[in-house]
Amino acid sequence: MIVDCHGHFTTVPTAHTEWRRTQLAAWESGLTPPPYPEIGDDEIAAALAPRQLAMMDERGIDVTLFSPQASAQGHHLGDAEVSLEWARRCNDLVHRATRLFPGRFVGVCQLPQSPGTSLENSVAELRRCVEELGFVGCNLNPDPSGGSWDSPALTDEYWYPLYQAMVDLDVPAMVHVSASANPAVHTTGAYYLNADTTVVMQLLAGDLFADLPALRLVVPHGGGAAPYHWGRFRGLAAMLDRPTPADGLLGNLFFDTCVYHQAGIDLLTRVVPASNLVFGSEMIGAVRVEDPETGHHFDDTRRYLDACALTAAELAQVFAGNARRVYPRMP
């Protein structure tokens, strides 16, 4: 059994993406957006079967925890109302995918965050997705500005209403930014990884998990730079008079395995206990090509795990067991 905890619906029907374009254009002009288009089940199936599903089959991935495309969530665009409408449309589309391919996709929702606004809409949309649509988690954007980092750190009470809802519903968040709004900071080559690192440091310096011991967060892309610099983080924890990362973070924090080469996965599995790793590939995502050195896709992360030093029992945890603990609402 293999559960991929990190998949985004990146191959959506064109009509969905086109509507987003018109929604933002309407907002910029102060107009009402056109109605959301009719999209047939056949279009959704056609968007998934030959690509996402075919690749899951090819790689032996049974289930993907599926959320709207991260870079398209665009919380910095429009306003709170625009974000709410867009999040609902995206989540409804993911929901339809989960209904069309039951057992293969499980929903993880986009939150209608909007810079400088409260998390009220996000809490409501999380509840709708979990209670009405059967979703099992959410993507939480720690920097909805697209790069300014002007939201409070994730350890700040600003975020607590959302955390409380997550705890009540027993769902985790994957902490994942959307597209970079800054041309100097590449979205998938810098901003994503930087956000992961920034968030691990925020958590290390704060008291969040002592305050909310039932909260669970997943940091994607193998934790950004954190496992590679685990000694730095252990040392900074000591200098800040904080618990070690192992004591202070690993009861509540998980890393996915979206690291696209063998040496990286070997480091990750050496540094972070297997109990804190959830299998992820972010397929179909940032890196869609084959590695000429191996002849396999860079994001075929199962291969690196199969070849790493973990025992069979540990691998079973990483491939599925931990996902069941982190996402207990998964069917």
Nearer Cβ to its own copies, position 118 or 148? 148
The least CB distance from residue 255 to its own copies, in Å, is 12
For position 291 contacting its own copies by CB under 8 A, the verdict is yes
The least CB distance from residue 156 to its own copies, in Å, is 9
For position 151 contacting its own copies by CB under 8 A, the verdict is yes
Q: Which of 45, 51, 264, 274 binds its own copies (CB under 8 A)?
A: 264
| Assigned token pair, 145 | 């500005």
- Window of 62-70, 78-86, 289-297, 311-319 that interacts with its own copies by CB under 8 A: 289-297
Nearer Cβ to its own copies, position 10 or 151? 151
Per DSSP, helices labelled H in the chain are 14-28, 41-48, 54-59, 70-73, 80-100, 120-127, 133, 160-169, 192-205, 208-211, 230-239, 245-248, 262-271, 301-306, 312-316, 322-326
Is 28 noted as a catalytic residue in this protein? Answer: no
Q: Residue 84 and residue 75: Cα distance in Å, rounded?
A: 10
What secondary structure does DSSP assign to 115-149, as a single string? TTS-SHHHHHHHHIIIIIH---EEEE-S-TTSS--
Helix (H) or strand (E) holding 105: strand 105-109
For position 248 contacting its own copies by CB under 8 A, the verdict is no
Q: Residue 137 and residue 172: Cα distance in Å, rounded?
A: 5
Q: Residue 121 and residue 144: Cα distance in Å, rounded?
A: 14
For position 60 contacting its own copies by CB under 8 A, the verdict is no
Helix (H, G, I), strand (E, B) or coil at 63: strand
In the Cβ-directed half-sphere of 102, how many Cα atoms lie within 13 Å?
4
For position 56 contacting its own copies by CB under 8 A, the verdict is no
The least CB distance from residue 147 to its own copies, in Å, is 7
For position 299 contacting its own copies by CB under 8 A, the verdict is yes
Q: Which of 30, 132, 263, 313 binds its own copies (CB under 8 A)?
A: 263
The least CB distance from residue 265 to its own copies, in Å, is 9
Q: Residue 233 and residue 236: Cα distance in Å, rounded?
A: 5
The least CB distance from residue 246 to its own copies, in Å, is 11
Burial 220-246 (b: 16+ CB within 10 A, else e): bbbbbbbbbbbeebeeebeeeebeebe
The least CB distance from residue 286 to its own copies, in Å, is 7
For position 160 contacting its own copies by CB under 8 A, the verdict is no
The closest alpha carbon to 329, from 201, 209, 167, belongs to 167
Pick the catalytic residue: 125, 282, 293, 314? Answer: 282
What does the per-residue mask of binding to its own copies show for 191-230, with x meaning CB under 8 A? --xx--xx--xx-xx---------------xx-xx-xxxx
- Window of 7-15, 105-113, 114-122, 144-152 that interacts with its own copies by CB under 8 A: 144-152
Q: Which of 15, 24, 267, 274 binds its own copies (CB under 8 A)?
A: 267
Residues at the contact surface with its own copies, assessed by CB under 8 A = 143, 147-153, 182-186, 188-190, 193-194, 197-198, 201-202, 204-205, 221-222, 224-225, 227-236, 238-239, 259-261, 263-264, 266-267, 270-271, 286-289, 291-292, 298-299
Report the catalytic residues.
282
